[in-house]
Amino acid sequence: MEQLLHGFAVVMTPANLFFCLVGTLLGTIVGIIPGLGPLTTIAILLPVTYKLDVTSALIMLSGIYYGVAYGGTATSVLLRIPGEASSVVTCIDGYAMARKGRAGAALTIAAVGSFVAGTVGTIGISYLSPPLAELVFAFGPAEYAALMLAGLAAVTYFSSGSLLKSLLMAAFGLVLGCVGKDPMTLEPRLTFGLTGLLDGIELPALAIGLFGLSEILLLARRSQSSLKMIAPPRSLLGFLPNREETRRSVAPVARGTVLGFLVGVLPGGGAVIASFLSYALEKKFAKQPEEFGRGAVEGLAGPETANNAASSGSLLPLLCMGLPANATTAVLLNAFILHGVAPGPAMMTQQPEIFWGLIASMYVGNVMLLVLNLPLIGLMIRILDVPRAYLGPIILLFCMIGVYSSVGDASGVLIAVVFGFVGYYLRQHGFNLGMLILAFVLGPILERSVRQALNISDGEFGVFVASPISITLLCLAAAILLLGLWPRRPVVNTEDD
């Protein structure tokens, strides 16, 4: 506690507060623009920070990282275009809420949920670091394989409407996840000889294609009047959620925070998986699951909280063990080392002012993000006033720039365009695209883990039931699958189109 207070003393200098503000502001902006992610931004700014004080530099770069999770919501809710891959799930119920005139409420709930997740996540890093970091080392390939199976079993909760159609989409997602080099032998699979497909289909390209571009195609085919977007109230605080919405978001925010944080701590987990699992969890807990897909508050509050909690969570292995959980935290690790700081237990004892200064800056930064984002909501919902004829091309432009900058290759843009048409077709026929993305994300991790485990055990399948963790997870997977399939609720078509 004393150390944390010392950390606050480090942050409360004008320079450090300024760099915290710059970082979080940049993060928000980058998060709002579809496809443009934290990775590119941090990489571009890295050389600029050489001349800065170490603590200031790290405060700013980390601010970009956790700030992004706030910004990603806006376009998902207002335009049904995911600002970040971790906001894909928000496109479903967030956008449905916007069409009912509750865009402001949706964005406020997301912002407050993000704030809770960010702050609780930071508390988690401050006080639970040593035991939670050990969790990372308890997960070997076999445990990951079991965890991914449990995640895939959760797809049965997603299915709305026809179970067959949902499973078809999951299968399609798994096939798409196989594209690219074989994880063990590096042999190209399903690449059709195209170099651009060698590293597989990139998630931003797929998500923006399936959700963003297909939406633009649907817009183009609709008449202005048939869209039925109800503008939110224009009064000063009219964008705030009402009492009913607030009440319904409390429990999902709490569950999303815990779930997201834990998923984030595990390497390879991350914000995308956390948001999907939270959605599945909320649907299972909901009193009216049939409302999911038609603007259920829980379906927005849970995932939007979980993705923020996951980005805080993935800072834990980085700060406490020097282990990056994803590509963005890998660039952050490089930034730390360039500034002469090797994150890990050694940093906590030898450079406590940097470690605790950074932690304290995350508390401050989350408050800044909330204060920045709430007034922005009133401004952003005005996007809905722009005639769709003008909005469409602008969104298209941002999607293309975003995909190009996050994939770094023109082939990514082509992939997004192709999946724009695929997504359009699938949505016209009532297929569940969320299922596809979840299977696409989980499949490759499952495959790699299974093959690594068998490689280590020399082909012995006993490795999958060798530890209590993997046995527990496998039982959980079986339970989820049975529970998901058993008491089928009356089938209600909850597709939003």
Q: Which residues bind another protein (CB under 8 A)?
A: 39-40, 42-44, 46-47, 136-141, 181, 183-188, 193, 195-196, 198-199, 267-268, 321-325, 327, 330-331, 333-335, 337-338, 340, 342-346, 407-409, 411-412, 448, 452, 455-456, 458
Extract the tokens encoding 486: 């058993």
Minimum CB distance to another protein smaller for 345 or for 392 = 345
What kind and span of H or E run contains 24? helix 14-32
* DSSP assigned state of 487: S
Extract the tokens encoding 290: 């049939």
Determine contact, residues 286/302, Cβ cutoff 8 Å: no
Minimum CB distance to another protein smaller for 92 or for 347 = 347
Tell the burial category of 138 from Cβ atoms under 10 Å away from its Cβ (0-12, 13-18, 19+). Answer: exposed
Least Å from the CB of residue 8 to another protein: 25
Least Å from the CB of residue 101 to another protein: 41
Least Å from the CB of residue 48 to another protein: 12
Least Å from the CB of residue 450 to another protein: 13
DSSP conformation letters of 226-288: GG-PPPPP-STTTTS--HHHHHHHHHHHHHHHHHHHHHHHSTT-HHHHHHHHHHHHHHHH-S-
Least Å from the CB of residue 43 to another protein: 3
Extract the tokens encoding 229: 């977007």
SS3 35: coil
Least Å from the CB of residue 439 to another protein: 18
Minimum CB distance to another protein smaller for 184 or for 386 = 184
DSSP conformation letters of 105-173: HHHHHHHHHHHHHHHHHHHHHHHHHHHHHHHHHH--HHHHHHHHHHHHHTHHHH--S-HHHHHHHHHHH
Question: Of 315, 424, 303, whose CA–CA distance to 365 is shortest?
Answer: 315
Least Å from the CB of residue 316 to another protein: 13
Minimum CB distance to another protein smaller for 293 or for 343 = 343
Determine contact, residues 252/416, Cβ cutoff 8 Å: no
Minimum CB distance to another protein smaller for 64 or for 89 = 64
The Cα 120–Cα 125 span in angstroms is: 9
Minimum CB distance to another protein smaller for 116 or for 341 = 341
Determine contact, residues 440/173, Cβ cutoff 8 Å: yes
Minimum CB distance to another protein smaller for 220 or for 410 = 410
Minimum CB distance to another protein smaller for 283 or for 339 = 339
Minimum CB distance to another protein smaller for 16 or for 449 = 449
Least Å from the CB of residue 202 to another protein: 8
* DSSP assigned state of 326: S
Minimum CB distance to another protein smaller for 374 or for 401 = 401
SS3 195: helix
The Cα 354–Cα 135 span in angstroms is: 24
Least Å from the CB of residue 155 to another protein: 23
Question: Which residues, in sequence order, are bridge partners of residue 180?
Answer: 189
DSSP conformation letters of 450-461: HHHHHHHHTS-G
Least Å from the CB of residue 492 to another protein: 40
Extract the tokens encoding 421: 């048409």
